[in-house]
Amino acid sequence: MSSTRTSSGPSTSYGSSADVPRGRGRALGAWCAGLLFAGVSAVVACRAADTDAMTPMPQLLAFLPWLLVPTGAGLLLSLLARWRTGLLWGVLVLGPLAWFIEPYGNTDEPRGLAVVRLRVLASNVEFGWATDALVTAVRRERPDVVFVSECEYGCQATLRAELGTALPYRQAVEGDTSVGSVILSRYPLTPSPVVPGVMGMPGAVADVDGRPVRLQLAHPQPPLPRQVTVWKRELGRLRDFADDHRDDGPLILAGDFNASQDHAAFRRILDTGLRDAARLAGSGREPSWPSRTTPAFGTQIDHVLVSGEFSAGRARFLDLPRTDHRSLLVDVTLHQARQARRAR
């Protein structure tokens, strides 16, 4: 009886205790990988369906390129768990995700002669806190046109006093905190109707050496959890504005869009024929927000969009203290429109 206890018991118990934790670990790895793939798949499906859906999709779509991280983690977990279905799932998600990371929009270059070069700066000064830093940047970079978001009363007074000589023309919507916005210009401005929104979005027509150039500041409501509908509506108004002026000559639409190219509402603005100047200059994916983690991590929601009469040269993102946005500085060139051929 004693020999039976010593020969059969230990071998059976040791095999069982080793297999159980290994099996549980693989099951846990597969379960975690499935959760990662499910989340990424939902976001990619919204991108493929050309919809921003509802919270939390707009917030997640803003960081779509970074979804490569959970996708890679899911593939690793699937490999360790020997979960073949998960490996296939991950590969199927990775394909469209990589495709959508490619910059969106038209990049055709104008063929007319170059007639005027402009330096454009778009800056969100976060409730006016970065006003002094903006003044320093403007004096250093010497832009011809500046779009300033979240420029409250004090900010506007400072810009008027400090930059009134270099940029004497202005068109503003006055307001406190994030409501105030202003366009500053070296060229004379004729006011045009504002685009309605919770925050100010002024517009004007600049007389650029005898050539009218329409300027419009963009600052729609951010897609906060309970404000997604407002965000979509205001981006839709900017899209309607761009479409209404599609054939009216040169247009620059710039500012804090609170949207990236991975948002359907922003892509519809590009679909009117506008091009993203940062993308034309080779910086289509460089993040502008939040400035505290850029350029290592973030998303590009500050844009300078131009009509087909413009080409774009250098684009730079400036780090200003005391604001959560990086300012976008681009050099654009206005080209002469081609003359229509006369009928024979």
Average pLDDT over residues 251-258: 98
Question: Does 7 score more than 50 pLDDT?
Answer: no
| In the chain, ranges of CATH 3.60.10.10 domains | 112-337
Question: What is the C-alpha separation between 344 and 175, in angstroms, rounded?
Answer: 56
Tokens of 233: 């509506």
Determine the longest span between alpha carbons in the chain, in angstroms: 115
Tokens of 309: 């009469």
Q: Is 69 helix (H, G, I), strand (E, B) or coil?
A: helix
According to the model, what pLDDT value does residue 2 have?
A: 45
According to the model, what pLDDT value does residue 341 have?
A: 37
Q: If you average pLDDT over every residue of the chain, what do you get? A: 93
Question: Does 49 score more than 80 pLDDT?
Answer: yes
CA distances (Å), 116 to each of 85, 312, 315, in order? 58, 12, 17
**Domain 112-337 is in which class?**
alpha beta
Closest Cα to residue 270, out of 278, 296, 342?
Answer: 278
CB neighbour list of residue 166: distance below 8 Å, 6 or more residues apart: 138, 139, 142, 186
Cβ pair 269, 232 in contact under 8 A: no
According to the model, what pLDDT value does residue 16 have?
A: 56
Residue 334 burial class via C-beta count within 10 angstroms: exposed 0-12, middle 13-18, buried 19 and up:
buried
Question: Does 224 score more than 90 pLDDT?
Answer: yes
Residues 128-182 pLDDT 10s = 999 999 999 999 999 999 999 999 999 999 999 999 999 999 999 999 999 999 9
